[in-house]
C-alpha cells in the first residue's frame, strides 16, 4: 500500500511538473509579424466620384518604431483614364499632390491609372482601377451595447452605430466605411441658462481659474479675484466638436446570395460627453474592387497593432503600384477609386452622458474691495456691473461658464 501511495504521489508530481513546463512555454512575449524597411516609396491616393478634389500622397517609409511622414517632393504626378484623358496633379504641400477631375469624367465603369515620376527619374505606375456603382446607404441606426475591447478607453456601455446593406445582384459588394462625428457640449453651470431667461445685456463675472491676488481688506489678508466679463455669457454656453473617426470599417456581401446584410457594426460611441446632448455622424461609404478591399482588410489589422490610422506605418507588400524599371522593388501603399455615397444620422436622448454642475451664488459688486486708505475702496462702483455671479467653490475652472475651455468651438454647424 505504501509503495502504491508513493507511486501515486510521483505520478501527480510528474503531472504538476509537466503543467508548469507547458504553462511557462505558453506565456512567451508576442511580437507582431510586422516588418518594414526604411526608405521605401509609399504611395497613398484615390480618385473618388463625389469629391471635388483628389489627393495623392508620396513619401518614404520609416522604421516601425518611429513612424512618420517623410515627403517625396518634386514628383510629376499624373492620372490617366481609359479614354486617354490626362489629369495633371500639383504639389500643394511637400509630398501632397492634388488635382480636380470634373464629374463628367468620373462615370461609373471608368478606369484610372496613376503615374509618378520621382526626382531621381524613377517611374511608378498603378494598375487600372474601375469605379463601381453602388446603391444609396440603407438604414442607419444606434443600438445600446456593452463593448468589450482590447483598448481600455473603449470598454463599457454606449451606442453602436449600425447600418443595413442592401443592393441588387449586379452591384459589387465590397465596402469601406468612414465616419465623421459632430457632437454638442455645454458649460457645466446649467444655472447660467436659467438665470438668463428673459434677461438681456446681463454681465456674468467669474474667477479666472489660476489668478487669485492676496490683498489686504480692513487689515485682513483676503483673496481678491480678478474678473472675466461675459457680455453675453449664453454665447459661451454651447460648443460643437467635429472630428474624423480614425477607425477603418469594412464589410462585404460577396458570399451572400441576396447581396445584403443586416446590422453591420460601425462606430462605437462610449457613454460620456459625446452623448450628453446631441450627437451626429456623417457616414461615407466607398465601393471597392476586391483587390482594394483586401488591401484595406490588411490595413485594418495593421492599424489595430500599431494603435491608430494616423500612427501606422504601411508595412505590407500588398500594393497595385510598381516601379516600371525595377519590378523587384517593394512599393508600399495603394491607389484606389470609388463612388462615394453619404448619409447623416443624429442621436438625441435619452442622454447617456454625464453633465457636470457648478453651483453659483449671487453677489453685489460692492462686496469686493481693493486696498486704498484705511478701509479700502470698491473694486468697482459702477452699478451696471451689479449683480455679479461667482462660483461658491473658488477653485472652479472657467469651463463652468465657458464651454471652450473643454474643447470645441462656438461655430454652430449649418446642419445642426
**pLDDT tens-digit readout, 282-313:** 999 999 999 999 999 888 777 666 554 444 45
Verify cis geometry, omega within 30 degrees of 0, for the bond prior to 387: yes
187 CB burial (10 A radius; 0-12, 13-18, 19+):
buried
CA distances from 412 to 170, 179, 185, 235, 241 (A): 42, 19, 12, 11, 10
Q: How far apart are CA 278 and CA 184, in angstroms?
A: 5
Q: Is 86's pLDDT higher than 90?
A: yes
- Give 271 or 3, the one with higher predicted confidence: 271
Is residue 132 within 8 Å of 287, Cβ to Cβ? yes
Instruction: Report which DSSP code applies to 7.
Output: H
Is residue 145 within 8 Å of 246, Cβ to Cβ? no
Q: How far apart are CA 292 and CA 332, in angstroms?
A: 13
The model's pLDDT over 142-180, given as tens digits with 9 standing for 90+, comes to: 999 887 766 656 668 899 999 998 877 767 889 999 999
Verify cis geometry, omega within 30 degrees of 0, for the bond prior to 280: no
What is the number of alpha carbons within 13 Å of residue 290 lying toward its C-beta? 5
All cell numbers assigned to 30: 508576442
Question: CA Rg, the chain, in Å?
Answer: 31
Is residue 391 within 8 Å of 207, Cβ to Cβ? yes
The overall longest dimension of the chain from CA atoms, in Å, is: 104
Domain range list for the chain: 188-236+357-406
All cell numbers assigned to 392: 461658491
Q: Is 232's pLDDT higher than 70?
A: no
Listed residue (66, 85, 361, 416) closest to 239, CA to CA: 416
Listed residue (65, 41, 10) closest to 317, CA to CA: 41
The model's pLDDT over 388-405, given as tens digits with 9 standing for 90+, comes to: 555 444 445 566 667 887
Amino acid at each position: 500500500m505504501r509503495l502504491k501511495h508513493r507511486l501515486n504521489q510521483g505520478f501527480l508530481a510528474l503531472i504538476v511538473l509537466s503543467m508548469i513546463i507547458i504553462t511557462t512555454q505558453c506565456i512567451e512575449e508576442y511580437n507582431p509579424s510586422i516588418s518594414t524597411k526604411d526608405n521605401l516609396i509609399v504611395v497613398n491616393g484615390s480618385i473618388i466620384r463625389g469629391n471635388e478634389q483628389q489627393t495623392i500622397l508620396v513619401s518614404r517609409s520609416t522604421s516601425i518604431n518611429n513612424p512618420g511622414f517623410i515627403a517625396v517632393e518634386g514628383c510629376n504626378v499624373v492620372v490617366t483614364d481609359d479614354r486617354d484623358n490626362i489629369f495633371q496633379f500639383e504639389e500643394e504641400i511637400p509630398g501632397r499632390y492634388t488635382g480636380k477631375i470634373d464629374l463628367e469624367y468620373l462615370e461609373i465603369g471608368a478606369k484610372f491609372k496613376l503615374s509618378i515620376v520621382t526626382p531621381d527619374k524613377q517611374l511608378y505606375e498603378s494598375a487600372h482601377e474601375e469605379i463601381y456603382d453602388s446603391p444609396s446607404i440603407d438604414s442607419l441606426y444606434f443600438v445600446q451595447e456593452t463593448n468589450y475591447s482590447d483598448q481600455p478607453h473603449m470598454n463599457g456601455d454606449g451606442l453602436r452605430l449600425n447600418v443595413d446593406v442592401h443592393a441588387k445582384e449586379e452591384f459589387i459588394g465590397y465596402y469601406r466605411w468612414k465616419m465623421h462625428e459632430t457632437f454638442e457640449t455645454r458649460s457645466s453651470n446649467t444655472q447660467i441658462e436659467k438665470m438668463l431667461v428673459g434677461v438681456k445685456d446681463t454681465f456674468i463675472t467669474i474667477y479666472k481659474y489660476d489668478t487669485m491676488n492676496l490683498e489686504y481688506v480692513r487689515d485682513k489678508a483676503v483673496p481678491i479675484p480678478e474678473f472675466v466679463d461675459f457680455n453675453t455669457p449664453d454665447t459661451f454656453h454651447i460648443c460643437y466638436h467635429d472630428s474624423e473617426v480614425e477607425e477603418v470599417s469594412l464589410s462585404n456581401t460577396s458570399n451572400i446570395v441576396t447581396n445584403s446584410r443586416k446590422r453591420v457594426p460601425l462606430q462605437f460611441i462610449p457613454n460620456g460627453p459625446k452623448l450628453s446632448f446631441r450627437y451626429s455622424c456623417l457616414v461615407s461609404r466607398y465601393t471597392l474592387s476586391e483587390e482594394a478591399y483586401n488591401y484595406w482588410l490588411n490595413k485594418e489589422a495593421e492599424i489595430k497593432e500599431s494603435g491608430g490610422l494616423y500612427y501606422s506605418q504601411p508595412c505590407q507588400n500588398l500594393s497595385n503600384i510598381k516601379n516600371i524599371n525595377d519590378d523587384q522593388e517593394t512599393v508600399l501603399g495603394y491607389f484606389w477609386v470609388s463612388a462615394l455615397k453619404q448619409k447623416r444620422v443624429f442621436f438625441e436622448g435619452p442622454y447617456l452622458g454625464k453633465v457636470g454642475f457648478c453651483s453659483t451664488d449671487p453677489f453685489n459688486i460692492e462686496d469686493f474691495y481693493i486696498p486704498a486708505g484705511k478701509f479700502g475702496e470698491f473694486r468697482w462702483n459702477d452699478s451696471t456691473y451689479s449683480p455679479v455671479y461667482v462660483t461658491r467653490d473658488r477653485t472652479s475652472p472657467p469651463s463652468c461658464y465657458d464651454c471652450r475651455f473643454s474643447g470645441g468651438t462656438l461655430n454652430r454647424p449649418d446642419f445642426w
